[in-house]
Amino acid sequence: MPVKKKVDTPDRDELAQTIADSLNSLMKNDGQVAYFLDGSDDTPIDLDDWVSTGATMLDLAISNRPHGGLPVGRIVELTGLEQSGKSLLAAHAIASTQKAGGVGILIDTESSANEEFWRSIGLDMTKMVYAQADALEDVFDMITNIIEKVRKADKDKLVTIVVDSVAAASTKKEIEADFGKDGYATDKAIILSKAMRKITNLLSKQRVLLIFTNQLRQKMNAMPFGDQYTTSGGKAIQFHASVRLRLATKGKIKNSNGDVIGVTVKATVQKNRCGPPHRVAEFDIYFDRGIDDYSSWLKVMKENKIIKQSGAWYSFKDETGEEHKFQSKDFPEFLEADKERKEKFYEEICEKVIMSYRSTDKEPIFEEASEE
């Protein structure tokens, strides 16, 4: 578990210290509840632990720092239309969790899991639990049980829980009802509202990342302007989520035969309590191996003149002045052959991308905000 860098306890205001001590004494059965944000206390809002999405540009867009991604101890919602990459992005988060020594739990409400594909993107089946849930109430019973077990068994173990998906989960009342009956959307929203309040409190001091995938659906009687889509289950997840991403397919990737072998996905950070919102990142997904992160690296390095392109060849000069050349298909192998060079490129990419998000002295462009 990452250790927060401690600072010397500064001279605190006497009254503020008295109030903090009083609150902690009042709520002693709940442990420490009052903190100072001066760097000397470990607090529930510290963001020192992150899980990569598998897409470097998206990690940077969310966390605004190197080696960032999705915030541990928080709730993340992935939204989008069908086949936009929600389940795949969640699976990559589980793979990243496993690489960091943690475990993943997938709670499946769609019965659409694909073990062969999971293996192809690097998931370790010995460090993953797959669970099926029939009803929405069962989903939250499972989440509560998992968090409590983690707290008792190994609270320092990194755990990522994925619920795939909220839209496919029915309430028990809906499951038991006749097909002709309707009007259970309100029940679903009420259950989600109550459950999310409880889950948010449970997560705050745990090394657990909770990801919900949710399907976009068109709003009924939507006006021609503004956002045409909404998500299932009301506003509860949207309200409690620290990060909310909307995924959309931007284009298709085809091979030389014209067969579609992947898609380019556009991810918009609609809500972000861990960094600036409204950022956008793009990455390629291949149907046989998942996210191709290095294609994004190549694009950013070319745009920022870290490397040069001449026809099908790319080149750069190292610190000694020696020129290195490679083609795009060889780029992954080229990077992995020299870890030091790979880390140097990564640092340059992070610097360029993070700097591009900063304010400038140019005249700002104001746009009318959408409903979302």
Q: What is the DSSP string of 86-114?
A: HHHHHHHHHHHHHHTT-EEEEEESSS---
3-class SS of residue 36: coil
Structure confidence by residue, pLDDT tens digits, 180-222? 666 556 788 999 999 999 999 888 778 999 999 999 988 877 6
Q: What span, in angstroms and rounded, lies between the C-alpha atoms of 213 and 166?
A: 6
Tell me the average pLDDT across 151-162. Answer: 93
Q: Is 279 left (phi over 0), alpha (psi -120 to 50) or beta?
A: beta
For residue 367, what are its two tokens? 């746009």
pTM of the model: 0.89
pLDDT at residue 80 tops 60: yes
Tell me the average pLDDT across 88-95. Answer: 97
Tell me the average pLDDT across 341-357. Answer: 91
- pLDDT at position 245 is 98
Distance, CA of 271 to chain centre: 11
Tell me the average pLDDT across 139-147. Answer: 96
Q: How many CB atoms lie within 10 A of CB 307?
A: 21
pLDDT at residue 233 tops 80: yes
- pLDDT at position 343 is 96
Q: Are 93 and 290 in contact (CB under 8 A)?
A: no
Q: Which domains does the chain have, with CATH numbers?
A: 50-292 (3.40.50.300), 299-356 (no CATH)
Tell me the average pLDDT across 62-68. Answer: 94
Of 103-107, 129-133, 135-139, 358-362, the least confident = 358-362
- pLDDT at position 2 is 62
Structure confidence by residue, pLDDT tens digits, 234-274? 899 999 999 999 999 999 999 999 999 999 999 999 999 99
Tell me the average pLDDT across 80-88. Answer: 94
Q: What span, in angstroms and rounded, lies between the C-alpha atoms of 260 and 266?
A: 18
- pLDDT at position 181 is 63
Tell me the average pLDDT across 298-307. Answer: 94
Quickly state the pLDDT bin for 367 (edges 50, 70, 90). low
- pLDDT at position 39 is 80
Tell me the average pLDDT across 170-189. Answer: 76
Characterize the bridge pairing of strands 280-286 and 290-292.
antiparallel
More confidently predicted of 357 and 89: 89
Quickly state the pLDDT bin for 113 (edges 50, 70, 90). confident
**Share of residues in the chain with pLDDT > 90 (%):** 70
DSSP state letters, 255-323: -TTS-EEEEEEEEEEEEESSS-SS-EEEEEEETTTEEEHHHHHHHHHHHTTSSEEETTEEEEE-TTS-E
- pLDDT at position 284 is 97
pLDDT at residue 17 tops 90: yes
- pLDDT at position 290 is 96
For residue 289, what are its two tokens? 């191996």
**Share of residues in the chain with pLDDT > 70 (%):** 91
- pLDDT at position 281 is 96
